[in-house]
Amino acid sequence: MSVVTAEHGHDHHDDHAHGPEKGWLRWIVTTNHKDIGTLYLFFALAMFFVGGTMAMIIRAELFEPGMQFVDPKFFNSMTTMHALVMIFGAVMPAFVGLANWMVPMMIGAPDMALPRMNNMSFWLLVAGILLLASTLFMEGGAPAGGWTLYPPLVLQTGKALPFAIFSVHLLGISSILGAINIVATILNMRAPAMSLMKMPMFVWTWLITGFLLIAIMPVFAGAVTMLLTDKFFHTSFFDAAGGGDPVLYQHIFWFFGHPEVYVMILPTFGVASTIIPVFARKPLFGYSSMVYATAAIAFLAFVVWAHHMFTVGMPISGELYFMYATMLIAVPTGVKIFNWTATMWKGAMTFETPMLFSIAFVVLFTLGGFTGLMMSIAPADFQYHDTYFIVAHFHYTLVPASIFMLMGAGYYWLPKWTGHMYNEKVGQLHFWLSAISVNILFFPQHFLGLAGMPRRIPDYAIQFSDWNMISSIGGFIFGASQLLFLWVVIDTIKGGTGEKVTDEVWEDAHKHGLEWTLPSPVPYHTFSTPPTMIPSDHR
Amino acid sequence: MSTSNTTYYIPHRATWPVLATAGLLTTLVGFANYLNGSSIGSTLMIAGLAILVVMLAGWFTLQATESESGMYNHGVGVSYRMGMMWFIFSEIMFFAVFFGTLWYTRNLSVPWLGGEGAKLATKEILWPAFNAVWPTNGPANVGGHFEPMGAFGLPLLNTLLLLTSGVTCTWAHHGLIAKNRKQLIQGLIATVALGFAFVLCQAFEYHEAYTEMGLTLGSGIYGSTFFMLTGFHGFHVCVGAIILSVVLFRSAKGHFTPENHFAFEAAAWYWHFVDVVWLGLFIFVYLM
Ligand code: HEM
Ligand SMILES: [Cu+2]
């Protein structure tokens, strides 16, 4: 063990003392934020394809009415596992990976605040997902009651139940430790010149996301712990016979669940706020309002949870309160959309792949926000609830938003990470195929939902056939297009276009982020001494 | 910021975290198998716990050695303190779930089961004889007859024990600041002893509940909330007492200075947190 004293950047004189370990062991014992970020990102990408395969099974089964390929139980396992894998295995870890890679570089820190814990967060994630995946092969099948794990239905799960619950515990600990690390890094490790209100937006959104995670993951852990004791230790938390209430589970779950969706969207906002100014060649419009809007969204996230439960039989005062509170979220969200648009207004825009994904994000996320607003109207939600309309809603907020910005982030930072330029032609092809097919996939689901097609069913009435077939076709195109991204990632790592990238990669990017002042590819250790200057656009 | 003048210690080659993960995974796989009635379950669990014990000993020793050899500058100390504070915050949220559950059942779901508001017809048809007053084990009398736990026997004594231990812990801290090692060690011994006395009393309390009062984890919602809240709290007291024991052991070895004693502070914060949770329990579970 040695103390890092090297100057950052071009000076490599003591890299031999603590450069990367040799061989595969490097990836197991590493405490380096870049290594761990890479691990997170590759793991997330792998899970994206695992979860994607499950989605393909779902869409294949729904291609036509009637039962085609799988039995209903397995179908339900697929919807449940698809959601859990995508949320806990793909989207959340991908953003943690980005945070690991970028936050220390963006704030001028030598590494994460708690590097050993950082390593542990990653391996706990792997352990949690392993437990979850193992349930697929168990007697009675994987959990099939939906990712929300509502009792009493989920208590009918077979041997998989305790494994699924413990998987949630492990994933929860992993997220909490990861979030604590990110929060401590941001609060404690910034370069002297970087006050809070000069931090890049991505850092801000992660600070707030970290807070959300620390607050909500223990809540989910508590909820599933009660499921466990109800099933195995004779408690009556969610059993009316003993004085408990199954609806209580829903309240606890959504107290976790609603902020959880913001855990997936706030870093998305952060990436968009990072990319758009660079390609619009303007500073981010309304920086401080962006910060306050993010904080407001996070605050509201804790007080709107029962909009997921409008049909459960709450008192009317509850319905009204949760309806109005939910509508309020549209205000800070609107501020953000306005600011991104204003950033692009009269900008000298160019349309490289990261920017294309960002623009698509702004447009398509707005659509998801609007359907959210529709569903926030309690009496209207009696119609929408548990139909494909809500499936369309959250997929618009998650796929062309979170996933698109993750892809955008990949294209944006890959040259910095690898030192190679990605193939712009393939990138653009990937974008256009994704952007078009995602709408073929999810837009018809609005119609299906409004016409009354329930979610989480393997078969449906024939009047839903046409739109389902179209949706499935979109799904297959979307799924296949993502292989292009895999190709781009591998190709870029192996050398990409062969074009030598500069340190700032994108024109004038050094004005927008400290990471662009570092060499490409970034050395193993950066900012061992903090930078004295911060980028000019971070007023 | 803290990184400006001195170098921030970045460890390399971390082996304990992977072992921690392996230990947790083994324990939980064992526990799940045990719950499913599989015979390897308990063996796996014990193996997992053994790994965890080794890991904790190793990791703590490593941290203590590094700390004592002066590898942690001010910035590292701040990071550790922040880490601990946010960790305690997550624990508060964990307990909040069970307090919230208690609140919800007492104020909402049990009255609803008793026919409050729009629920009258349901009650009259399904369980007309149900008397919805706390403590209850529900319309089906789940778990059979039980006596609720009173506040003024062992629980009151336990409150006094924990409050006193909070004082002795602070007294030990004053000793540490004043470079009075004897006071530090005596204070810690008293704190740890009071902690274990608390756990002992709680064991008596549970024993009485199970053998004489008919009160078990299966006694409907009252038994569920009672044992879940006090049980998780008791578990945290044990953990806190073990951490304090480690701190005591280190103090006896001459570790810690008035400037550099993160482990002590973390243990003390944790202890006060456990203390405050108990006050909540005493009020909301026992008194009200
Ligand atoms: C303007 C902001 C938003 C509003 C007003 C809103 C409103 C709602 C409402 C009322 C529901 C419940 C629908 C029902 O079950 O009947 C819902 C469901 C959902 N929303 Fe949103 N939403 C918003 C933004 C988001 C964002 C940003 C995300 C994720 C990134 C998201 C993800 C979800 C998910 C995953 C569900 C479904 C959960 C489930 O039942 O499985 N929403 N939303
Ligand atoms: Cu919500």
ipTM computed for the complex: 0.95
What distance in Å separates the CA atoms of residue A269 and residue A223, rounded to the nearest whole number? Answer: 29
B13's CB contacts (< 8 A; 6+ apart) are A1, A21, A29, A31
What distance in Å separates the CA atoms of residue A320 and residue A315, rounded to the nearest whole number? Answer: 9
Q: What's residue A23's pLDDT?
A: 85
Closest residue to atom 22 of ligand 1, CA basis? A372
Whether the CB of A369 sits within 6 Å of ligand 1: yes
Nearest to B97 among A222, A233, A236 (CB): A222
Nearest to B78 among A21, A31, A188 (CB): A188
**CB proximity A316 to B under 8 Å:** no
Q: Which residues of A touch B230 (CB under 8 A)?
A: none
User: In this complex, do B17 and A119 lie within 8 Å of one another by their Cβ atoms?
Assistant: yes
B156's CB contacts (< 8 A; 6+ apart) are B282
Span B237-264, mean pLDDT?
95
What distance in Å separates the CA atoms of residue A422 and residue A229, rounded to the nearest whole number? Answer: 51
Annotated domain spans of chain B:
1-71, 76-287
What distance in Å separates the CA atoms of residue B169 and residue B179, rounded to the nearest whole number? Answer: 15
Q: Give backbone dihedrals phi and psi of A62, rounded to 5 degrees, phi first.
A: -90, 0
Q: How many angstroms separate the alpha carbon of residue A214 from the centre of ligand 2?
A: 18
Whether the CB of A51 sits within 6 Å of ligand 1: no
Of residues A373, A281, A284, the one with CA closest to residue A333: A373
Handedness of CA B29, B32, B37, B42 (dihedral sign): positive
Q: pLDDT tier at A4 (50, 70, 90 boundaries)?
A: very low
Average pLDDT value for chain B = 94
Q: What counts of helices (H) and strands (E) characterise chain A?
A: 17, 0
- Say if residues A187 and A204 touch (Cβ distance below 8 Å): no
**CB proximity B100 to A under 8 Å:** yes
Task: Supply the residues of A annotated as catalytic.
Answer: 82, 111, 147, 174-175, 258, 260, 262, 273, 307-308, 333, 336, 455
Angle formed by the axes of helices A404-418 and A92-107, to 10°? 50
Residue B244 is encoded by which pair of tokens? Answer: 């304090």
User: In this complex, do B97 and A110 lie within 8 Å of one another by their Cβ atoms?
Assistant: no
CATH of B1-71, one of 3.30.1050.10, 3.40.50.10890, 1.10.287.70, 2.60.40.180: 1.10.287.70
Q: What's residue A538's pLDDT?
A: 66
**CB proximity B217 to A under 8 Å:** yes
Q: Which of residues 132-191 of B touch A (CB under 8 A)?
A: 136-140, 142-143
Count CB-CB contacts under 10 A for residue A524. Answer: 14
Count CB-CB contacts under 10 A for residue B6. Answer: 12
Q: Which of residues 98-117 of A touch B (CB under 8 A)?
A: 109-111, 113-117
CATH code reported for the domain at A15-517: 1.20.210.10
Span A344-372, mean pLDDT?
97
User: In this complex, do B29 and A232 lie within 8 Å of one another by their Cβ atoms?
Assistant: no
What distance in Å separates the CA atoms of residue B74 and residue A413, rounded to the nearest whole number? Answer: 33
Q: How many angstroms separate the alpha carbon of residue A440 from the centre of ligand 2?
A: 25
Q: Which of residues 470-509 of A touch B (CB under 8 A)?
A: none
Instruction: Say which amino acid occupies B1.
Output: M
Beta partners for A135? none
Instruction: Say which amino acid occupies A59.
Output: R
A320's CB contacts (< 8 A; 6+ apart) are A378
User: In this complex, do A192 and B136 lie within 8 Å of one another by their Cβ atoms?
Assistant: no
Residue B13's closest chain A neighbor by CA?
A: A29
Q: What's residue A96's pLDDT?
A: 98
Measured distance between the N- and C-terminal CA atoms of chain A, rounded to whole angstroms: 38
Q: pLDDT tier at B285 (50, 70, 90 boundaries)?
A: very high
The burial of A92, by beta-carbon neighbours within 10 Å (0-12 exposed, 13-18 middle, 19 or more buried), is given as buried
User: In this complex, do B113 and A240 lie within 8 Å of one another by their Cβ atoms?
Assistant: yes
| Dihedral, CA of residue B236, residue B242, residue B247 and residue B251, to nearest 10 | 140
Residue A447 is encoded by which pair of tokens? Answer: 């119609």
**CB proximity A209 to B under 8 Å:** no
Whether the CB of A308 sits within 6 Å of ligand 1: yes
Q: Give backbone dihedrals phi and psi of A500, rounded to 5 degrees, phi first.
A: -80, 125
3-state secondary structure of A420: strand
Whether the CB of A373 sits within 6 Å of ligand 1: yes
The better pLDDT of the pair A500, B84 is held by: B84
Q: Which residues of B touch A241 (CB under 8 A)?
A: 138-140, 142
Q: What's residue B6's pLDDT?
A: 60
The structure's pTM equals 0.95
Q: What angle do CA A249, A253, A259 make, to 5 degrees?
A: 160
Nearest to B18 among A28, A111, A222 (CB): A28
Q: What's residue A354's pLDDT?
A: 97
Residue with tokens 């792949």: A353
3-state secondary structure of A144: coil
Residue B136 is encoded by which pair of tokens? Answer: 């209850």
Smallest-distance ligand from the CA of A381 = 1
Q: How many angstroms separate the alpha carbon of residue B8 from the centre of ligand 2?
A: 41
Q: What angle do CA B74, B79, B80 make, to 5 degrees?
A: 95
A151's CB contacts (< 8 A; 6+ apart) are A227, A230, A238, A246, A249
**A345: closest CA of chain B, how far (Å):** 36
Q: What's residue B1's pLDDT?
A: 39
| DSSP classification of residue A401 | I
- Quick one: residue A53, left, alpha or beta (phi over 0 = left, psi -120 to 50 = alpha)? alpha
Measured distance between the N- and C-terminal CA atoms of chain B, rounded to whole angstroms: 47
Q: pLDDT tier at B117 (50, 70, 90 boundaries)?
A: confident
CATH code reported for the domain at B76-287: 1.20.120.80
Helical H runs in chain B? 16-35, 41-68, 74-104, 110-113, 120-126, 154-177, 181-208, 220-252, 262-281
Q: How many angstroms separate the alpha carbon of residue A440 from the centre of ligand 1?
A: 20
Segment A61-116, tens digit of pLDDT:
999 999 999 999 999 999 999 999 999 999 999 999 999 999 999 999 999 999 99
Segment B125-135, tens digit of pLDDT:
999 999 999 99
Closest residue to atom 29 of ligand 1, CA basis? A261
Smallest-distance ligand from the CA of A305 = 2
Residue B126's closest chain A neighbor by CA?
A: A241
Ligand 1 atom nearest A307 alpha carbon: 10
A270's CB contacts (< 8 A; 6+ apart) are A200, A201, A202, A203, A204, A205, A206
Span B172-180, mean pLDDT?
96
Annotated domain spans of chain A:
15-517
Q: What's residue B273's pLDDT?
A: 97
- Say if residues A77 and A141 touch (Cβ distance below 8 Å): yes
Q: What's residue A1's pLDDT?
A: 32
Q: What's residue A298's pLDDT?
A: 96
**B14: closest CA of chain A, how far (Å):** 5
Percent of chain B with pLDDT over 70: 98
Segment A108-163, tens digit of pLDDT:
999 999 999 999 999 999 999 999 999 999 999 999 999 999 999 999 999 999 99
Instruction: Say which amino acid occupies A195.
Output: S
Interface test with B, best of A245, A250, A309, A533 (most B CBs within 10 A): A245
3-state secondary structure of B134: coil
Whether the CB of A375 sits within 6 Å of ligand 1: yes
**B25: closest CA of chain A, how far (Å):** 6
Span A442-467, mean pLDDT?
96
- Say if residues A223 and A217 touch (Cβ distance below 8 Å): no
Helical H runs in A189-236? 201-232
Q: pLDDT tier at A5 (50, 70, 90 boundaries)?
A: very low
The better pLDDT of the pair A12, B57 is held by: B57
- Say if residues A237 and B101 touch (Cβ distance below 8 Å): yes
Q: What's residue A357's pLDDT?
A: 98
Q: pLDDT tier at A22 (50, 70, 90 boundaries)?
A: confident
Of residues A448, A449, A386, A457, the one with CA closest to residue A76: A457
Closest residue to atom 8 of ligand 1, CA basis? A372
User: In this complex, do B79 and A30 lie within 8 Å of one another by their Cβ atoms?
Assistant: no
The burial of A125, by beta-carbon neighbours within 10 Å (0-12 exposed, 13-18 middle, 19 or more buried), is given as buried
Ligand 1 atom nearest A373 alpha carbon: 5
Q: Give backbone dihedrals phi and psi of A387, rounded to 5 degrees, phi first.
A: -115, 180
Of residues B55, B80, B54, the one with CA closest to residue B67: B80
- Say if residues B109 and A239 touch (Cβ distance below 8 Å): no
What distance in Å separates the CA atoms of residue A237 and residue A226, rounded to the nearest whole number? Answer: 7
Of residues B26, B109, B31, B20, the one with CA closest to residue B63: B20
Of residues A160, A168, A162, A132, the one with CA closest to residue A54: A132
3-state secondary structure of A387: strand
| Dihedral, CA of residue A319, residue A325, residue A327 and residue A329, to nearest 10 | -150
What distance in Å separates the CA atoms of residue A69 and residue A56, rounded to the nearest whole number? Answer: 12
**CB proximity B97 to A under 8 Å:** yes
